[in-house]
Amino acid sequence: MDSNRMNYSVQRAAAGEENIGTGLLIMCLLEGEMTLQYQGERYRMKREDVLLINPGVSYTIRDVNHAVYGEASFSIRMITEVLQSNRKFFYCNSVVDNSHSYQDLRDIFFQLTVEYISRTHQSRCYMDSLLLKLLDCLVEHYQPDQKAMEIYETENDARMREIMQYIITNLDQEISLNELAEKMFVSASTLSRIFKKNTGEYFADYVMQLRVKNAVSLLEHSGQNMLQIAVACGFANSASFNRAFRKIMGVTPTEYREAYQSSREQEEKISAPEPDICKELRQKGYEFGKKEREEMLRLDLKNNQGRKYQKPWNLMINIGPIWDLNQANVQFHTLYLNEQLHFQYIRLWNVFSRKMMINNGKTIGQYNYDAVNQVLDFLVQHRLKPFLDLGRRPDTALRSFRNEVFFEEQYIPFESRENWECMIEDFFSHIVSRYGQEEVSGWVFELSRDCIHGDSLPQYRLYQEEQYDFFDAWRYLWQTVKKKIPAARFGGVTGIVVKDWKFLLDFYKRCNTENVRPDYVSFLMFPYDVRSNQETQTTRILSQDKEYEENQIREIRKLLKQTGMEETPLYITEWNNTISNRNYLNDSCYRAAYIVKKAAAISEQVDMLGIMGGTDWVSSHMDTVGIVNGGIGLLTKDTIRKPAYFAVDFLNQLGDYLLAKGENYIATRKENGDIYILCYYYSWFKRSYFLEEEDVDLRKYHSLVFEEEEPLHLNIRLENLKESGEYYLKKRTLNRRHGSILNEWEEFQYDVRLTRQDVKYLQGISFPTLSQSRKVVTKGNHTLDMKVTMEPHEISLIHIFCRT
- Predicted local confidence at residue 3, as pLDDT: 44
Q: Give the pLDDT score at 270.
A: 46
CA–CA separation, 672 and 653 (whole Å): 14
399 burial level (CB within 10 Å; 0-12, 13-18, 19+): buried
425/145: higher pLDDT: 425
- State the burial class of residue 557 (Cβ atoms within 10 Å of its Cβ: 0-12, 13-18, 19+): middle
The rounded distance, in Å, linking the Cα atoms of 322 and 646 is 26
List strand residue ranges (DSSP E) for 143-236, in order. none
Q: What is the pLDDT of residue 5?
A: 74
pLDDT: which is higher, 123 or 728: 728
Question: How many CA atoms lie less than 13 Å away from 133 in the CB half-sphere?
Answer: 16
The per-residue DSSP string of 414-457 comes to -SSHHHHHHHHHHHHHHHHHHH-HHHHTT-EEE----TTTTTSS
How far apart CA 228 and CA 744 sit, in angstroms, is 69
Whether residue 596 contacts residue 682, with contact meaning beta carbons closer than 8 Å, is answered with yes
The pLDDT of residue 532: 61
Angle (nearest 5°) at CA 198 between 193 and 202: 55
The model's pLDDT over 654-700, given as tens digits with 9 standing for 90+, comes to 999 999 999 899 999 999 999 999 999 999 887 666 656 677 777 77
DSSP secondary structure letter of residue 353: B
- What mean pLDDT is predicted for residues 136-141? 84
CA pair distance 695, 246, nearest whole angstrom: 62
pLDDT band at 287 (very low <50, low <70, confident <90, very high): low
For the cut 70, the answer to whether the pLDDT of residue 651 exceeds it is yes
pLDDT confidence tier of residue 537, bands split at 50, 70 and 90: low
In the predicted model, what is the mean pLDDT of residues 596-620? 95
Rounded distance, CA 118 to CA 286, Å?
A: 9
Helix (H) or strand (E) holding 177: helix 177-183
Given strand 784-790, what is the order of strands in its sheet?
293-300, 712-719, 784-790
Give pLDDT tens digits for 573-593.
Answer: 999 999 999 999 999 999 999
Q: Which pLDDT score is estimated for 739?
A: 96
Ramachandran angles phi, psi of 766, nearest 5°: -80, 75
Percent of the chain with pLDDT over 90: 54
The arithmetic mean of pLDDT across residues 158-165, rounded, is 75
Least confident window among 97-106, 147-156, 327-336: 147-156
**Separation between Cα atoms, residue 237 and residue 230, nearest integer Å:** 6
Indicate the range of 173-182, 442-451, 639-648, 770-779 predicted with least confidence: 173-182
From CA 47, how far away is CA 521, in angstroms rounded?
37
Q: What is the pLDDT of residues 370-385, one digit of tens each?
A: 999 999 999 999 999 9
Instruction: Say yes or no to pLDDT of 329 above 80.
Output: yes
Q: Check the CA dihedral 599-603-606-607 and report its sign.
A: positive
Residue-wise pLDDT for 74-121, tens only, equals 877 777 777 765 555 678 888 887 667 687 788 889 889 888 887 778
- The DSSP secondary structure of 538-589, one letter per residue, reads EEEEE---TTHHHHHHHHHHHHHHHTT-TTS-EEEEEE-S-S-SS-GGGGSH
Residue 631 makes CB contacts below 8 A (sequence gap 6+) with 397, 581, 582, 586, 587, 616, 618, 619, 620, 624
pLDDT in tens, 165-222: 777 777 778 888 888 888 888 888 888 888 888 777 888 888 888 888 778 877 876 7
Mean pLDDT of 590-599: 97
SS3 of 580-609: CCCCHHHHCHHHHHHHHHHHHHHHHHCCEE
At 450, the amino acid letter reads D
pLDDT for 458: 80
Question: How far is residue 574's CA from residue 549's CA, in Å, rounded to a whole number?
Answer: 12
* CA distance linking residue 560 with residue 5, whole number of Å: 58
69, 72, 43, 58: which is closest to 134 by C-alpha? 72
CA gyration radius for the chain? 33
Of 314 and 211, more confident: 314
CA separation for the pair 670, 357 (Å, rounded): 49
Find the range with the poorest average confidence among 264-273, 304-313, 354-363, 620-629: 264-273
Residue 107 vs residue 251, higher pLDDT: 251
The per-residue pLDDT for range 752-804, each reduced to its tens digit, is 999 999 999 999 999 999 999 999 988 777 899 999 999 999 999 999 999 76
Mean pLDDT across the chain: 87
For residue 22, pLDDT beyond 80: no
**What's the average model confidence in pLDDT over 453-459?**
75
